[in-house]
Amino acid sequence: MALSSLLGLTMSLKNEIAGVLRAIRTIRGFDYGDLADVSAKANIGKLEQGKSNITVAKLIELADALQFDPIALIALCVAIQKDEPTDTTFERARAELDSFKAEGGEELLRSQFVGKELKKRPAGKPSNTKNADAVRELKALGLSQAEVVQRLGLASSTVYRYWQK
């Protein structure tokens, strides 16, 4: 699951989060008062009624207070949303993680941090290095900009920008 998908989950999973929180809280034997350090009782009530959004950070904090793994909590929500067994949700996530690792994603992710601090990156929109490399490769083969646009399906302005670098 892409990060943008994960960040958007709390908006589209309001009811699923409500049901999962109710079930976990009940199984763990917690009442709203037990979660008061994380959020006001009224807020927990609104969450459990599907009438309130929650940030990812607050959801993780709430999962910790419920003594429940936040990834498992999100997986339960996704399984309910997709109407599939939780094992299927985890298998798909495992396959995605394996693919991410195989593509070098884990190393790239870790390179974004110094310890736990996010590294600064240059201002502006980051370039797509795969597209830039493809444009340079086709340019080196003697193709015109128009041919590169057609072959790669990129905007002519994008090809022009990579062509000039």
CA 81 to CA 44: how far, in whole Å? 21
User: How much is the average pLDDT of 33-42?
Assistant: 83
Predicted confidence at residue 109, as pLDDT, reads: 93
CA 77 to CA 18: how far, in whole Å? 9
Predicted confidence at residue 127, as pLDDT, reads: 65
CA 41 to CA 33: how far, in whole Å? 6
Whole-model pTM: value is: 0.68
CA 46 from chain center: how many Å? 24
Sign of CA dihedral 24, 25, 28, 29: negative
Q: How confident is the model at residue 4 (pLDDT cuts 50, 70, 90)?
A: very low
User: How much is the average pLDDT of 26-54?
Assistant: 88
Asked whether the predicted pLDDT for residue 10 surpasses 50, the reply is no
- Contact by Cβ (8 Å): 15, 75: no
- Contact by Cβ (8 Å): 114, 147: no
Q: Position of tokens 């109710």?
A: 22
Using DSSP's 3-state secondary structure scheme, residue 155 falls into: coil
Please identify, in words, the CATH class of the domain defined by 3-83.
mainly alpha
User: How much is the average pLDDT of 76-86?
Assistant: 95
Give 59-79 pLDDT, tens digit per residue: 999 999 999 999 999 999 999
CA 57 to CA 64: how far, in whole Å? 11
CA 110 to CA 46: how far, in whole Å? 37
